[in-house]
A and B are shown apart, each in its own frame.
Chain A
Amino acid sequence: DTAVSQTPKYLVTQMGNDKSIKCEQNLGHDTMYWYKQDSKKFLKIMFSYNNKELIINETVPNRFSPKSPDKAHLNLHINSLELGDSAVYFCASSQDRGLINEKLFFGSGTQLSVL
């Protein structure tokens, strides 16, 4: 079984559309994250949820809205998509937010292309 799974794997859409990416983890972890990897492979955190509560919200346009219906799921909804949103979006999870030695488990990514 895949530990952290996200769908879809590829998403091609037009500017101005609204789209969602779903993420689920079956590891029993308390904390989930969204990361954005740009075309130069630079990886930057966007959001983090701990037990359905938003704990990290980096400088991200408010067109991006994460939603966590339960601690095993963290979805990312994007309104009014722009060309600059094209990137690979990674979901990740960790056991807890406060353990300094904890590692992250990543999904395989969603390649978003905005035309």
Chain B
Amino acid sequence: AQSVAQPEDQVNVAEGNPLTVKCTYSVSGNPYLFWYVQYPNRGLQFLLKYITGDNLVKGSYGFEAEFNKSQTSFHLKKPSALVSDSALYFCAVRDGGYSTLTFGKGTMLLVSP
């Protein structure tokens, strides 16, 4: 079985500061990892994914994520936060093959001016 944990319900950061949204996963095979963002009253939007290759993955809007196999983590990062980054962020994992995406419970990111 596959699972995803996002240990923080909310992350607060000041504009201009770096941000990290944490995600850990559990799979039986190779993990395929994703980050999605949900703005208020909108559907989820794809940010980035890790399938194989470089552990640091770059995505939309200046976000990046680092895959760490030993720690089974895939934390989302951005060097300098913007107020417009405030949204709900979901980590998701797929265990390969035809398995479905399993989403974490989401982390609300609030960036203050």
Contact = CB atoms under 8 A, between A and B. Distances in A.
A4 B43 CA distance: 10
User: Most A CB atoms within 10 A — which of B32, B36, B100, B106?
Assistant: B100
Interface string B87-103: 01010001011101101
B56 interface: no
Contact of A104 (B41, B44, B88, B98): B44
Interface stretch (A65-73, A76-84, A95-103): A95-103
Contact of A106 (B44, B49, B88): B44
B88 A98 contact: no
Interface string B30-50: 001010100001111110010
A43 B3 CA distance: 13
B105 A42 contact: yes
What's the interface size class on A, roughly? 20 to 34
Interface in B25-79: 32, 34, 36, 41-46, 49, 51
B41 A109 contact: yes
Given A100-B97, A106-B44, A109-B43, A43 B103 contact: yes
A45 interface: yes
Interface of B: 32, 34, 36, 41-46, 49, 51, 88, 90, 94, 96-98, 100-101, 103, 105-106
Interface of A: 4, 40-45, 48, 55-56, 90, 92, 97-98, 100-101, 103-109
